[in-house]
Amino acid sequence: MLRGLYNWTIRLSGHKHAHWALAAVSFAESSFFPVPPDVMLVPMTVARPERAWFYATVCTIASVAGALLGYAIGALLYDTLGHWLISIYGYEDKLEEFRALYGEWGAWIILIKGATPIPYKLVTIASGFAGYSLFWFIVLSLITRGARFFLVAGILNRFGEPIKRFIEEHLGLVSAAFALLIVAGFVVARYVI
């Protein structure tokens, strides 16, 4: 199954509309979807390393656009949709504490959490709920999401062929490690933060 999904993503990278699928996943991940865009960014960039910077730009712009939706959910729809989304991830008991931290540490929260495997949708919804400055939210989201995606793209652009060989030879291990990283992000967000 993993091999089929990986091969499908590699084939998708050659399609003229592949960047739209990447944009859709990046957008959704910042507001409600649990899977990060790396599941598409990595294989697409490995397949076409010459497009690494384009893919990173697509991820960044779409992620920040999705972050605006997450912010709106937190600011305008928290009592309905926002609370439901936060409770699905099990963080409803920590949101008030998180909101209180924004007064003093808002910029650092956005910058640090936006670059980690901690689900960014939690940051976007909480930012809107806390009433964090929309202007600074956008600026900081561009910085942190851009840094994250351009770092991945840069590494894959530079070391694409050896990484591609490693992924193809050890797909099960790479997939398990990536899944573990996603789960770890949720666990850290739930029990540490």
- Distance in angstroms (rounded) separating the CA atoms of residues 45 and 59: 12
Quickly list DSSP for 52-98.
HHHHHHHHHHHHHHHHHHHHHHHHHSIIIIIHHHHHHTT-GGGHHHH
* pTM of the model as a whole: 0.76
pLDDT tier, 66 (very low <50, low <70, confident <90, very high otherwise): very high
Calculate the average pLDDT of the chain. Answer: 79
Cα distance between residue 123 and residue 27, in whole Å: 14
pLDDT at residue 11, rounded to an integer: 67
Q: What is the pLDDT of residues 106-127, one digit of tens each?
A: 788 888 877 776 778 888 888 8
How many C-alpha atoms does 99 have within 13 Å on its Cβ side? 16
Distance CA 73, CA 96 (A): 16
Closest CA to 10 of 160, 134, 113: 160
pLDDT at residue 6 tops 70:
no
Task: Write the pLDDT tens digit of every residue in 171-186.
Answer: 667 666 666 665 666 5
Q: How far is CA 98 from CA 73, 92, 109, 134, in A?
A: 16, 10, 9, 17
pLDDT at residue 4, rounded to an integer: 65
